[in-house]
Structure formats: structure tokens, C-alpha cells
Amino acid sequence: MTSTSLMMIILVILPFYSWCATPTVAANLSPANIDGLKAQFQTAMKSFSDVASMHYTLAGVKELGVVPPDTYCNDIKKLVDKSDVESIFHATEAARALANCKLPAEEYRALLTSTLQSDKSTTADVYHAVRASVNLGLNVDESRVEKRLNALAKTDDSVSSQGYALLTGAQLSQPIAKFYADTINDLVQQADEVDGRTLQYEGGVGTTALLVNAFYEVAEKAGVPVKIDPKQLIKFASYFSTKRHVATLRSAYYLTKVFKYLSDRKNTIPVVVSRTTPAAVSAQNPSVFVSVSNLFGQPVGEISVVAESAKRKEDGAVVISKQKLTAKDSTSSIFELPFYDAKIPRGFYTIHLTLTPRGDEKLIGLTDNTIEVKVTSEAALENAELNVADRDSTAQAKTHKLTYPNALSEKLDLHPHQKLIIKFQVKDKRTGEYVRTQQAFVRFTNKKSKKEIIYLAEAASGATAQYKAEIDLTSNAADFRYQSGAYDLVVIVGDSLLQNAFEWKVNDNVQLTFHEDSLADKNHQDLYLPRPEIIHQFRVEEKRPPTIVSLVFSALTLLPLLILLVSWLRLGFNLSGMPLGLSPLVFHVSHGAAFGLMFVYWKYLDMFQTIRYLALISIPLFLAGHRVLAILAARRETKA
């Protein structure tokens, strides 16, 4: 298959695939990727390199209902680092995930106690030490822990530190847990909102899942509900539902725990509405099936689903209003909406759903749920014909009537002074109307080189929607590289609202003749070959003139000065008339400084700097010059 053929297939299939692959619009929640999380944990269980991975993996699969075997207990004891409080925490959590695995508490007591007493322990260290102590059955000095957490709150106010503080509070007494549960709302306000529909914390899915998990743990210990506004909870759930894959086992573990909390009937449950059938609605698939579940994909109890409206995207026309969906199973999790009807024309539709629970379940996300569908139909190619005519229309065109899917059996000979015209119409079998499609092409394929030349077939205006492709063999000869020979002629029609695409071979023996010499096909693979290296070359200095030219030019430059000196000598120039005194001395020094400034301006200064210096020099030059002229004028009067 050539690259051009692949492109054509993509153009025809892509619109259809994009609709089938997208179950709901972005505003809806998506079911959690439980299978992906389970596969990630099961892959990690094949080999462990550290005790942290064992903790997240064994505890993660247990959250998903899989009890890990006790054979991992020996691995936990081998991998734990008894000198590191975090390693001890992970070991106790991993052992807790097993049915029968006990760790020697006395071996860890000293380190855990010193960590809780140290003034250098971070909030994470305190949590790890407290949680490990609880897992091992060791006593915890709650007053000391509370005092340390209060001190840390003044020096570290990051959301991660606050999350560990909540997790620590969940391990202590109920009054302490209630104190931290009252801070949940403040932490929720620190979350970052993205696009007005998701909430997350800096640090990504791992940090966000840890924080939300801490909300539920500390609230559960305090015996109070989680104080999060339903709209904010939906935004957190929306963020988590978009995470189809996570990079680390830590993120996978906390994400699994969050999904479990958000699906627990004791808590407020975000409802997930998703389409279970393909987006295309047709005579063979006349109904839309909708799933209503929690994030774990489990039923949420008896519920009523109503299609408030179904609007066509093209013009906003409402085709369904206040239609109740029918429950298709005893769990009330799958609902059916018949949608294929003669009154509903082909097109793209948005269905707005409203859910009403029949029990006392604490459900949120019951409104503003939408799903996207499209009504498709079968089509037929009709009124197809192939015309061969002269470019100047001097002779009558030869017309060949075509019937899909039959090919024209006779050979077609085309010369440069001729043109080929293909016409056809696409008819909707359901309505009998002629329709326009997204893609309509005419393709020539050189039988020898397999090169493809593709032309667009354009639809005429009006109700007939007749498609026409005209190929002038003179003006379009360059497209064929002037290569005479046999070609296949194929018509391609596709549309995302058509159940069937068309690739109709109209004729397999079209003989094209060109008078010009044929050109070799371009090898498109050459586009990806390395290009010659670009080596930067600085400008080559211009060649200097010969020495004699430089000397002659210098002499010509100095010639005016020589003429000036000779003229002075002939005129009897001397210094006897120069007056003596301070003013003449200042005048000549200032005059010389002005000439010197011109040289400095030429070499070093810019115009504005030179003007500033010249303004300073001009003051004594003007005053002294005026005084010298006055002296010379007085001498002339005296001599007279």
C-alpha cells in the first residue's frame, strides 16, 4: 500500500473512528481504569527491589479485592532497612496487607521513639513513625506528636506537609482527628482549578490523591463527614477519572484508595454516566445504551434517567424532549434510549440526561450529563456517468453510463487534447434525498509504477448535489509526470454519517497518451534523507590595494596642507604679530583642544558625547578669542 492510499483510508475512517472511540464529552466523569491499575500492581508483584514498592503493590491489590499471599512476608523482612523510619513504615504497611505477617516491634521501637522526640523530624517523618508504631502495636505519646505537628505547621505550610499532618491526625485520638478534620475546607481552597472543571494540587496525581485520601481518613476517624462542596468534589473526581495511566506505584496506590472512598456508599458518590454502545445509531443499532455507575463501575442503586433533550449540532433542532430511559437490568445500571426514527434525520446529536435517585443514596453529578451520538444511514451511488470530450468542445462528447458497483468494460483512450469528466450523486436510502459527503475523490493509479494521482470531486449547489470531477489532460499533464500508459480509475466516497464507504473501480484500462517526454517519479523517501551539512563561513576580507596606490592616495590627501604652508611662506607668514598674554594662550590651547576633540570623536566617541565636550571647550575658546580680536583691533588703531 502506498502512502497516498494510506492517507485516503485515514481520511475516510478517521471521522467515524473518532466518534466511536469517544464515549462521552469531556464534562462527564469516566469510569476508573481499574483493570489498568490491577495490571500495574500484578506486573510489579513479579519482582520487588525495595520495600516501598512492596507496600504500594500489596496494599494496592488488597484495595482491589485481591488478597496477596503470605509468602511475601520473608521478602519484607529482608528488604526493610531498620535504620530508616520510612523503610520501617513501608514494611509495616506491606505486612499489614498480608493475612499473617508479624514484624518484631521491639527491633524498631528505639528508632520510632527517637524520631517522634527529635526536633529535626519533618511532618512526613512524624507520620511514618506514628503509623508504623500503630501498625506494630506500640504506644504513641499523642501530646508530644501534637506539639511537634503544631511547631512544624509554623515552618512548613506546603500542601504536602498539611496532608501528612492530616494522615497523622487520623492515627491519633478522635478529638485530635476532629481538629484536623475541621481544616479540610482550608486545604480544599488551596487546590488549583484547571479549565473550570478539575481541581488538583501542585505535585500531580500522587500528591492530589494523597491529600484527598487524607481528607477521608481523618474525617472517618473523627466520625464526621468530609466537608467538601459537591461541586468541588466533582472537580476532584473529574481530575482522577482522567488518569487512565499513572507512572509510579505510589500514585497508583493512592489513586486506588481515592476511587474506593469515592465509591463507598458511606460517602458522597460522584455518578459516572457513560455510553456503552458505539456512537453510530442506525437501523441495525437503533438504541443508545447508557451506563450509570460509580467510579469503580459498580451500580449506585435504583435510579431514574430522563433524556431532557437531544439537540442536533448543526442547527440546534430538538428531536427528543423529556423521554425516560428504560432500565435493562435488575441493578439499574444499564439504560436504553431508542433513538433511530424516521423523524430524526442523519447528523450529530448531543443528549442531555438528568438522573433522579429513588433511594437515600448520597449521589452527586446527577445533572449536566451529556453523551454524543450520531444518526447514520446507508447510501447508494446513482446517476453516474463518464464523459470523454475535446478541450475545445468541437466534437460531441462521448458519454458512458455507469452503474455501481459494475466497472466499465471497454478500454478508454485519452489524448492531450481531451478531457475526462466524471459525474455521480450520493443518495440516502432512508430518506431518498441526495446528500453531500465529507470526502469524494477520483483516483488514477499507474499500473506499472503504482503511482497515484488524486483529484477532488466537488458537489454542485442545489438539491441535486451532483458531484463532478473534470481532468484536463493538457493542464493536468504534469500531475501524471507525462507518463503515458494504462491507469486504473477509481471513485472514492466517504462520510462519518454513512454506514458504508465506497471505493468503486470505474475502469481498469484507461490509456493515457502524452506528447511530452515522461519525467521520472519523485522518490518521496528522499525527503527524509540527511541533507548536506551547512558549514558557516565568515565573510572573506577584501583584498588590500597595492602599496603604491596607498602612498599616492596619502600624498594627495596631504597636498592641500602643503599648498597652505607654501602660500603662508609666500605671504610672509610669521608669529611676530601674535600678541602675548593669557588670553592668546587660552585661545590657542582651546582651539587645539577642539581639533583634538574631532580626532577623539572619530576614534572613540559618539555624536552626543562629542557635543557635550565641545560645549565645555567652546566657552573659553569664545571668551579668549573675543579678547584676542579686541587686542589686535587696538593695535591697528594705535598704528594708524
pLDDT single digits (tens) 527-584:
788 888 888 888 888 888 888 988 899 899 889 888 988 887 887 776 666 777 888 8
Q: What is the pLDDT of residue 223?
A: 93
Q: What is the pLDDT of residue 233?
A: 94
Among 326, 355, 375, identify where a domain stops.
Answer: 375
Q: What is the pLDDT of residue 628?
A: 85
Answer for the pair 494, 12: CB distance below 8 angstroms, yes or no: yes
Range scoring the smallest mean pLDDT among 2-11, 183-192, 237-246: 2-11
Q: What is the pLDDT of residue 14?
A: 40
Give first-to-last CA distance, the chain, whole Å.
115
Taking only the tens place, the pLDDT of each residue in 586-629 is 888 998 899 899 989 988 889 999 999 999 999 999 998 898 88
Tell me what the mean pLDDT of segment 430-434 comes to.
88
What proportion of the chain, given as a percentage, has pLDDT over 90?
66
Tell me what the mean pLDDT of segment 445-454 comes to.
92
Tell me what the mean pLDDT of segment 197-217 comes to.
94
| DSSP for residue 70 | G
For residue 411, give the C-alpha cell: 478500454
Place of cell 504500594: 56
Is there a domain that residue 103 lies in?
yes
Is there a domain that residue 183 lies in?
yes
- The reply to whether 263 and 304 lie within a common domain is no
Among 527, 555, 581, identify where a domain stops.
Answer: 527
Q: What is the pLDDT of residue 577?
A: 67
Q: What is the pLDDT of residue 4?
A: 43
Tell me what the mean pLDDT of segment 81-100 comes to.
94
Is there a domain that residue 240 lies in?
yes
Where does the pLDDT of residue 29 fall: very low under 50, low under 70, confident under 90, or very high at 90 and above? confident
Q: What is the pLDDT of residue 171?
A: 95
Range scoring the smallest mean pLDDT among 458-467, 484-493, 522-531: 522-531
Tell me what the mean pLDDT of segment 125-133 comes to.
95
Is there a domain that residue 561 lies in?
no
- The reply to whether 94 and 210 lie within a common domain is yes
- The reply to whether 62 and 41 lie within a common domain is yes
Range scoring the smallest mean pLDDT among 23-37, 249-263, 464-478: 23-37
Answer for the pair 103, 77: CB distance below 8 angstroms, yes or no: yes
- The reply to whether 364 and 244 lie within a common domain is no
Answer for the pair 490, 505: CB distance below 8 angstroms, yes or no: yes
As a dihedral over the C-alpha atoms of residue 615, residue 621, residue 626, residue 627, rounded to 10 degrees, the angle is: 140
Question: What amino acid occupies position 346?
Answer: R
Count of domains forming the chain: 4
Range scoring the smallest mean pLDDT among 388-397, 401-410, 574-583: 574-583
For residue 78, give the C-alpha cell: 529482608
- The reply to whether 136 and 282 lie within a common domain is no
Cα separation, 6 vs 8, in Å, equals 5
Question: What amino acid occupies position 359?
Answer: G
How many other C-beta atoms lie within 10 A of the C-beta of residue 132?
A: 26
- The reply to whether 385 and 358 lie within a common domain is no
Tell me what the mean pLDDT of segment 290-295 comes to.
93
Is there a domain that residue 538 lies in?
no
Place of cell 449540532: 313
> Quick check: 414 pLDDT over 60?
yes
- The reply to whether 183 and 309 lie within a common domain is no
CATH number at residue 42: 1.50.10
- The reply to whether 257 and 156 lie within a common domain is yes
Q: What is the pLDDT of residue 15?
A: 41
Taking only the tens place, the pLDDT of each residue in 319-349 is 999 999 999 887 778 999 999 887 888 899 9
Q: What is the pLDDT of residue 575?
A: 66
- The reply to whether 233 and 286 lie within a common domain is no
- The reply to whether 452 and 521 lie within a common domain is yes
> Which residues 6+ apart lie within 8 Å of 259 measured at CB?
32, 34, 240, 295, 296
> Quick check: 282 pLDDT over 70?
yes
Please choose, from the candidates 267, 172, 173, the residue with its C-alpha nearest in 3D space to the C-alpha of residue 225.
267
Answer for the pair 295, 268: CB distance below 8 angstroms, yes or no: no
Is there a domain that residue 143 lies in?
yes
Angle between helices 123-136 and 106-117 (to 10 degrees): 150
CATH number at residue 419: 2.60.40
Cα separation, 458 vs 376, in Å, equals 22
Where does the pLDDT of residue 518 fall: very low under 50, low under 70, confident under 90, or very high at 90 and above? confident
Tell me what the mean pLDDT of segment 442-471 comes to.
92
Strand positions, DSSP E, 358-417: 363-364, 369-375, 379-390, 398-402, 412-414
Cα separation, 358 vs 466, in Å, equals 54
Domain of 452?
381-527
Cα separation, 469 vs 439, in Å, equals 13
Q: How far is CA 485 from CA 246, 420, 422, 451, 597, in A?
A: 57, 16, 20, 12, 83
- The reply to whether 232 and 115 lie within a common domain is yes
Tell me what the mean pLDDT of segment 189-195 comes to.
92
3-class DSSP state for residue 273? Answer: strand
- The reply to whether 334 and 435 lie within a common domain is no
> Quick check: 638 pLDDT over 70?
yes
Among 337, 356, 375, identify where a domain stops.
Answer: 375
How far is residue 630 CA from its own chain's centroid? 85
Q: What is the pLDDT of residue 12?
A: 42
Instruction: Please give the model's pTM, rounded to 2 decimal places.
Output: 0.70
Where does the pLDDT of residue 369 fall: very low under 50, low under 70, confident under 90, or very high at 90 and above? very high
Is there a domain that residue 4 lies in?
no
Query: Phi/psi of residue 367, each to 5°?
Result: -120, 175
Q: What is the pLDDT of residue 126?
A: 95
The full DSSP string for 178-244 is HHHHTTHHHHHHTSEEETTTEEE-TT-HHHHHHHHHHHHHHHHHHTS-----HHHHHHHHHHHHT-S
Helix (H) or strand (E) holding 92: helix 85-96
Q: What is the pLDDT of residue 7?
A: 41
Taking only the tens place, the pLDDT of each residue in 14-28 is 443 333 433 333 346
Is there a domain that residue 80 lies in?
yes
Q: Specify the higher pLDDT residue, 29 or 134.
A: 134
Q: What is the pLDDT of residue 393?
A: 74
